[in-house]
Chain A
Amino acid sequence: EAGVVQSPRYKIIEKKQPVAFWCNPISGHNTLYWYRQNLGQGPELLIRYENEEAVDDSQLPKDRFSAERLKGVDSTLKIQPAELGDSAVYLCASSLDWANTGELFFGEGSRLTVL
C-alpha cells in the first residue's frame, strides 16, 4: 500500500514568490494534516481536515497561507508571498480515525528554502 505522497521534495524560491505543495494521503484516510517543521524543532500543526472540511486552522497564518482539500482526498498548501522565515519542511500526514489511537502517517515532507 502506498504511503503519504508529497511533492515537490525540495523547492528553492526567492522571497515574495508564491509556492505550492501537494499531498496525496493514504487511500481511505479521512483526516489530513499539514505540519511545519523548522530546523531542530518538532512539527507544528498548521491545519487539520476532516474530509474536505478544515476543522482546525487556528495556527495557519491566513494572511499568506492557504490550503484546500476540495474532494476530501488530495490537498494543496500555498504560500503567497513567501518570506525568509517560511523556510522549513512542510509535512503532510493522514490518519484513518482520529477518534481512535490518533496514529499519524507522515509523508517525507517538502523542504522549502526561501532566499
Chain B
Amino acid sequence: GEDVEQSLFLSVREGDSSVINCTYTDSSSTYLYWYKQEPGAGLQLLTYIFSNMDMKQDQRLTVLLNKKDKHLSLRIADTQTGDSAIYFCAESMGSSASKIIFGSGTRLSIRP
C-alpha cells in the first residue's frame, strides 16, 4: 500500500549534523521530497530529488536516495536553532508527480 515512514523525533546539539531518515513504498516514484513545517505555518518545500539520482547537495542540505532499499535521508550540516521544525518526507506516486503522499513527520529539536 501507500506508506511513508519516518521516526517521530530527533534531538541534536547545536552545530552538529542532523540526519532524518525515511522509507517509502512506491518503487516507481519519480520524485521524493523533503518539506519543512514551522509552528503555525504550512509546509514549505526544502528540497527534492529525482529518482535517477543517488545524492543531491544544496548548501547545508544533503539528500541521499537508496532506491534498492527505498530509503531516503536528509542531512542538515551545522544544525542551527532556526532548523527546529517538523520535517516531512514525501513521495510522488507513480510516474507522474500528480499524487504526493506524506510521512508523519520528524520533529527536530535543537539543544544548546
CA–CA, A40 and B90, complex, Å: 16
Instruction: Determine the main DSSP class of A at the interface with B.
Output: loop
Question: Which of the listed residues B33, B92, B100 has the most CB atoms from chain A within 10 Å of its own CB?
Answer: B100
Of B8, B43, B98, B104, the contact of A98 (CB 8 Å cutoff): B98
Q: Do A101 and B104 form a contact, CB below 8 Å, given A42-B88, A43-B43?
A: no
Could you mark each residue 67-110 of chain B with 1 if its beta carbon is under 8 Å from any beta carbon of chain A, else 0? 00000000000000000000010101000111111111100000
Contacting pair B42 A107 (CB below 8 A): yes
- Chain B 41-58 interface residues, beta-carbon cutoff 8 Å to A: 41-45, 48
- Residues of A contacting B48 in the complex (Cβ-Cβ under 8 angstroms): 101-103
- The verdict on B24 contacting chain A, using a C-beta distance below 8 Å, is no
- The answer to whether A109 and B42 have CB atoms under 8 Å apart is yes
* From A55, A104, A109, residue with most partner B Cβ within 10 Å: A104
Query: Count of B residues near A, CB < 8 Å?
Result: 26
Assuming A108-B41, A109-B42, is B103 touching A42 (CB within 8 A)? yes
Q: Determine if B104 and A102 form an interchain contact, defined as CB atoms under 8 angstroms apart.
A: no
B-chain residues with CB within 8 Å of residue A43 when the two chains form the complex:
43, 88, 102
Inter-subunit contact B104/A42 (CB<8 Å): yes
Give every chain A residue within 8 A of B1 (Cβ-Cβ).
none
Asked whether A99 lies within 8 Å of B98 as measured between CB atoms, the reply is: yes
Bound-state CA distance A72–B67 (Å) is 37
A42-B88, A42-B103 are contacts. A106–B98 as well, Cβ < 8 Å?
Answer: no
Nearest A-chain residue to B40, judged by Cβ: A108
CB–CB B102/A106 < 8 A: no
Chain A residues with CB under 8 A of B98 = 31, 48, 55-56, 98-99, 102
- Please report A residues at the B interface, Cβ cutoff 8 Å: 4, 31, 40-45, 48, 55-56, 91, 93, 98-109
13 A-B pairs whose Cβ atoms sit less than 8 Å apart in the complex: A4-B42, A41-B104, A41-B105, A42-B88, A45-B100, A48-B99, A56-B98, A56-B99, A98-B98, A99-B98, A101-B48, A106-B43, A107-B42
Closest 4 CB pairs of A and B: A102-B97, A106-B42, A42-B102, A98-B98
Q: Which residues of B contact A (CB under 8 A)?
A: 4, 8, 30-31, 33, 35, 40-45, 48, 88, 90, 92, 96-105
